[in-house]
Amino acid sequence: DSFFYNIMYLMSRHTHQSEIGIGTWNIKSGGFSSYNPSLPAPEREHAIQAVVNHLHDNNRVDTLSLTDAHRWDQIYGGNQGIAAHLGYKEAHFTPLEDDRLSRDFGAGIGIVLATDQRIEQAKELDLSTRQGLGVILDIGSYGLQVANVYMDDLSEETRLTQLRALQSELEPDMPTILIGDFNALRPTMRGASIRIRTKDMAVRSLAHTLSAHKPLGMTVRGMNQRQAVPLIESFGFKDADSAQKRPTAPARLPIFGVDYIFHNEKVAVDEVTTVPIKYESDHLPLIARARVINT
């Protein structure tokens, strides 16, 4: 009997869903006007909820990464409360636990992964100076590994350290997607539209004019080193938007392409696009369809 049930289980695995709609969106301090811990509720709560509902219902995004989800574990009462608030079956909040951010902005900054897929495994990822979230979704024959991250916003060297740590935390030889706000710029805009290439030229000029002693200057100068994306690619991952190279921030006039979906050779990703928004955040959502290969 046990042999029969094992065979039936293996056969059922091969009939499991192999495709998902996936997306990532930086929601800017969790919808709050600031990181002030005394604020009672996110001012943009309903606006963010409306965008998420649109992504879920209209764009068929069944697995969504939300970065900069400030205090969401407290506001919505943990993972089940977050899932219910967003209209997803499951959700995981992971605090970044970054010492610099905790010192400057408080300990509430984290990331959320919401999904309608069954989560087979979930674990916090040690990224050296902060945490990410790794899950294995019940997609395809052997599962789909998704790493949800929000990388350092000031130092390219810190991002490189975090990325090397991320690579060591991943389960090898699995269909894998890396998703989130990487705070990193592509080294080349070859193949992108003239409009996008012109915006990138403006970013390069900005990096040389901003003060290296102020936060904005540190951020732009650090990103302009453009070493993080090549490192990710050296690990065997492909930028899902390598053709268009769409910028995602700031939302009203996007010039920085910092939000990404990366995938290895065991996953195919297409239908990549950004979703226009108005005031709900300072980043555009980035969405796509992902399919596990050879399931």
CB proximity list for 46: less than 8 A, separation 6 or greater: none
Q: Return phi, psi of residue 239, to 5°.
A: -70, 120
Burial of 288 (0-12, 13-18, 19+ CB in 10 A): buried
* Cβ–Cβ < 8 Å for 32, 42: yes
The residues with which 230 forms a beta bridge, in sequence order, are: none
pLDDT digits (tens, 9 = 90+) for 262-283: 999 999 999 999 999 989 999 9
pLDDT digits (tens, 9 = 90+) for 188-211: 999 999 999 999 999 999 999 999
Biggest CA-to-CA distance, the chain: 72
**For residue 24, which amino acid is it?**
T
**Chain mean position to CA 150:** 7
Q: What is the pLDDT, as a whole number, of residue 15? A: 52
pLDDT digits (tens, 9 = 90+) for 131-179: 999 999 999 989 999 999 999 999 999 999 999 999 999 999 999 999 9
pLDDT digits (tens, 9 = 90+) for 28-57: 999 999 999 999 999 999 999 999 999 999
Helices (H), the chain: 2-13, 45-57, 72-75, 78-86, 99-105, 156-169, 194-209, 215-223, 228-234
Question: What confidence tier does 107 reach under pLDDT thresholds 50, 70, 90?
Answer: confident
**CATH architecture, domain defined by 18-292:** 4-Layer Sandwich (3.60)
**Locate tokens 């919505």: which residue?**
76
Is the pTM higher than 0.85? The answer reads: yes
Of 197, 177, 184, 179, the C-alpha closest to 155 is 184
Domain regions of the chain by residue span: 18-292
Residue 11 has pLDDT above 90, yes or no: no
Question: What confidence tier does 106 reach under pLDDT thresholds 50, 70, 90?
Answer: confident
Residue 295 has pLDDT above 60, yes or no: no
Q: What is the pLDDT, as a whole number, of residue 2? A: 53
* Cβ–Cβ < 8 Å for 245, 213: no
Q: What is the pLDDT, as a whole number, of residue 169? A: 98
Question: What confidence tier does 7 reach under pLDDT thresholds 50, 70, 90?
Answer: very low
